[in-house]
Every structure is written in C-alpha cells, then in structure tokens.
Structure 1
Amino acid sequence: MHKGRLMFWKRKKNKPTEFKCSECGQVHSEWPALTFNSPANYHTLSDNEKLEIGKLETDFCEIHYKDQIDRFIRVTLTQKINEACETLEYGLWVSLSEKSYSDYKENFNNPNHETGYFGWLCNDIAEYGNTSSIPCDVITKIGNDRPEIFPHQDFDHPFVKDYYNGISKSEAENRINEITKNVG
C-alpha cells in the first residue's frame, strides 16, 4: 500500500481530534491532510529504477522511460464532509501532458499564474481500490498554493460520487485512522 504523510492522530473523549505531525513534531488539533509522498507510478518502481529513471522532488516527479517521459505534479483535493464544518484534505499527484507540465513548471514561482489543465489522478486511495487514472481538472491558484483538482463528474467511480455527494464525519475519521496506521 502506498503510504501517506507521516502523521499520527489520536482522539480523546470529549476533546478535539489531535495528531502529532512527524514532520514538525507538534501536536495539532485539526485534521491532518492525507498526503502521498509520490505518485503511485513512482512508488511502484524498484529502488534501482527510482535511481536510474526516476526524479522525485517536493512538487514535481518525472519518470524517464526509453520511449517516453511521465510527468507528475503535486495537487490538493478537498473532500466535503456532510453535516460537519470540517473538510478532509488530500495531497495527491496527477499526471500532466508535456505541454501542461512545462507551463506549470515554468510558472511555478509566479504568484499570479492562474490556469487550468487536464490531468489523471495518480494515487490509489485505499478505501476505493484503484483510483489511478480518474480524469481531473487541475486548477492553479493565485499566490503559489498547490493546484486543486476536481474529478470529472461524469466519470463513473465511487470516489467521484463521494467527492460530489460528500462523506460522513465518521468515514473521514476512519480514513485518517487507516492512513496513520500504515505509516511509521
């Protein structure tokens, strides 16, 4: 299973949700973002392949095959929680065409760059099985925040249905619990 960001959380009776972030070491009372360190395409490479054909950075990833280069960027997705004020945040990866990838990379430090691209989701979210290759609109944001993705509503997949219909608070908490069980 592809691991998420190294974060731990705990729930205390009658107290807000808390988690300890392994990146900063602090205890936070809001929900952690469920993040993936790399696209599934990179994660499934052998260690040797990662060294030879892969290039993974914080916001960009490339895999250089003999006949093609696969290009990925880090994005966010905000999941609506029904009957709750919270949202569940995901840090995911999408593949982009060479043209879109080049444009995004060229404008990465431009705080006024605002555009949209077509991309394919490149992470498998455990609760849904195979979520790679869900078509998405990738929308950049003014101010250099990571782009947000919006799955194509007409794509028939439980993840897409849940994105547009929302999930329950208990389901969101279960997802947080599951991903934190699989790290560390």
Structure 2
Amino acid sequence: MDEIKFICECCGEEHVSWPALTYNSPNSYHNLSDQEKEEIAVIDPDFCVIKYSDQEINRFIRCVLIQKVNDHCQDLEYGFWVSLSETSFKDYLENFDNENHETQYFGWLSNYISQYQFSNSIPTTVVTKSGNDRPEIFPHQDFDHPFVKDYYEGITKEEAEKRIREMLKN
C-alpha cells in the first residue's frame, strides 16, 4: 500500500493517510451469478441497475460516508452504494454532470459492513454536493442499529485501523 504522508492541521504532526474503505458494487449485484450480471445488470463506477424478470428494478448510486474517529485527527471514509427510488435515481442521473445541483434523497444503505450484523438495510439521507463530488450519506439517527450508533458517537482510532486492516485483507 502506498502511504501518503501529510502534516496534520489539527495536531501539527506528520500522519499517513488512511485509504477509503470502498465497495465495488452493491450487495444485490455482488450476490448475482456471473450470468445474471451479464443479462440483468449494468454497473459503472457511479451507477448500478438490476432488472429482475418480475419487472422489479433496483437502482443504486455510489456515495461516501465519513465516520468520525474520536481520538484521531483523521476520519474514516467509506465508499458505499445506496438504493434510490426510480424518481430520485432519474433526478440524480439527469443532474449528474450539473456542478450546481444540490438536493437530498432518501436511500437505503446497500452494503453490509463486516463488523456489524444486518437483518435489514439502514435508511439514509443522500446529500448531493456542488462541484460533482460524490453524494454524502447520513444514516437516520432514529434507526436502532449499532452502525448508526457508532456513526453518531464516533469510533476509536484502534477500531478504524482494525477496519482498514480487515478491508485490505479481503
């Protein structure tokens, strides 16, 4: 892993930057067979669409989530996929190249993080940003799940580094 060193504005010390923890696809796409991926799905770095035979269509976009790290100057960044409604997906797609498009959508987190158990998806607010940066997601604070609790309360540097090591192994 190439290390990127920088002087931290927070503490004035030299740090090595952490890699973003990214998922290459939403879980629904990952779980398809190779044949299904070719026949019913389309994916690129920012969008994924899966058209099932029963007329159900799942639409996903790639977003970022910033996890606060309480005892460190750097936060942990995730690259997640979120499912959107047809209306929200079309609006995002139509405005994808519009650097001034700022809005919010409701979405469902579509990746599962190995440190947590998931019985269902987590509701999120997807916030687009000017300048064509990837949208940022914010889990709904009233949703009872350990991931949501950790998002709002923060995690330790030790936990963040453990997650990075686990992701790099996989």
**Paired position in structure 1 for 2:81:** 93
The 2-side partners of 1:58 and 1:147 are apart by 13
Q: Which residue identity lines up with residue 63 of structure 1 in the other structure?
A: I
Is 2:109 the partner of 1:130? no
* Matched ranges for 1:4-153 at <5 A: 19-20=1-2, 27-28=3-4, 29-66=16-53, 67-130=55-118, 133-153=121-141
Q: What secondary structure is seen at the aligned counterpart in 1 of 2:115?
A: helix
Cα RMSD for the two superposed structures: 1.0
> Matched residue pairs, number?
158
Residue 132 of structure 1: CA displacement? 5.5
CA contact (8 A) 1:121 1:132 kept: no
Q: What secondary structure is seen at the aligned counterpart in 1 of 2:66?
A: strand
**Paired position in structure 2 for 1:162:** 150
Q: In percent, how many aligned pairs have the same letter? A: 63
CA contact (8 A) 1:123 1:132 kept: no
Where do 5+ consecutive residues of structure 1 fail to align?
1-18, 21-26
Residue 129 of structure 1: CA displacement? 2.5
Q: Which of 157, 167, 181 is the aligned partner of 2:169? A: 181
Residue 131 of structure 1: CA displacement? 7.4
TM value normalised by structure 2: 0.90
CA contact (8 A) 1:137 1:152 kept: yes
Q: What secondary structure is seen at the aligned counterpart in 2 of 1:126?
A: coil
Residue 130 of structure 1: CA displacement? 2.0
Residue 172 of structure 1: CA displacement? 0.1
Q: Which residue identity lines up with residue 35 of structure 1 in the other structure?
A: T
TM value normalised by structure 1: 0.84
